[in-house]
Structure 1
């Protein structure tokens, strides 16, 4: 017999992912960023990007204002993922294979495993470019427009 989920238990996987991020934030504060951490963070950001895309699509017809805010969050999350991808390629490589780890989209399927961040980034880029204009992608974050109670 299964017990019904409480309202606070409605999204256990999201809470677990958030807890994992908090744990790694505390653990990583003593060590410098490395490519492994940035790759994992990029994977998390692109997964959130897909999730926000689906939420925005579901929210837009019944609640257009909410859908617009989710679309803005979708764009900003893409900007964060793009910055993490760029930072990944600016970090030094641990071994002597630096020539193999540069981003070459034309040879991604045959590339070394480290290029999975580039494959992931290109896949997310196709989604964002279908739904967003280049000027929106380059627009800085605008002010918060909804009333919040504190």
Structure 2
């Protein structure tokens, strides 16, 4: 028995991730009576995870679309580059926020992140970012990575 997916189910995890983002956006909108809490490193790490996953997906879609439809492939490649710029800004913001271990004071001395098999938690965002950066630098030039302002022509 073979299972055949529908075309709109080609990326089921993307649909689940999008639903999660919508849920958190709605939850934030519901708390308008109280000012929202400032973002912390954990939230930026999760957001960076979503952006790098979307970055890989856009890369795959651009590669598959470019041969039969060059113009659409160029637009997807441009989206891929712009998403990388957003991911880089999230990574920079992550490092500007205070770490949670600094806020915990005495508890921080008891923490031994070097004992974790995947390494210290603060470095996982950097490892993910370096891997994504390696792929973007193979396919783009420094000029492409410079921020630009664009205007819609429609």
- Interval of TM-score (by shorter of Structure 1 and Structure 2): 0.7 to 0.9
**TM-score, length of structure 1 as denominator length:** 0.78
Equivalent residue, structure 1, for 2:120: 112
| 1:8-87 equivalences in 2 (<5 Å) | 11-28=11-28, 30-87=36-93
Looking at structure 2, the residues matched to 137 and 129 of structure 1 have their Cα atoms a distance apart, in angstroms, of: 9
1:32 deviates by 1.8
* Structure-1 separation of matches of 2:63 and 2:50: 20
Stretches of 4+ aligned residues off by more than 6 angstroms: 1-4
Please give the TM-score of this superposition, normalised by the length of structure 2. Answer: 0.76
Deviation sequence 1:82-120 (CA, Å, 0-9, x none): 0000000011112239xxxxxxxxxxx995222100000
1:61–1:36: structure 2 CA closer, same or farther, 3 Å change rule? same
**Count of residue pairs the alignment pairs up:** 135
CA contact (8 A) 2:85 2:147 kept: no
CA distance in 1 between partners of 2:144 and 2:6 (Å): 39
Work out whether residues 79 and 137 of structure 1, in 8 Å CA contact, stay in contact via their aligned partners in 2. yes
Q: 1:110 to 1:13 in 2, by over 3 A?
A: closer
Unaligned runs of 5+ residues in structure 1 are: 98-108
Work out which of the two has the higher radius of gyration on C-alpha atoms and give 1 or 2: 2
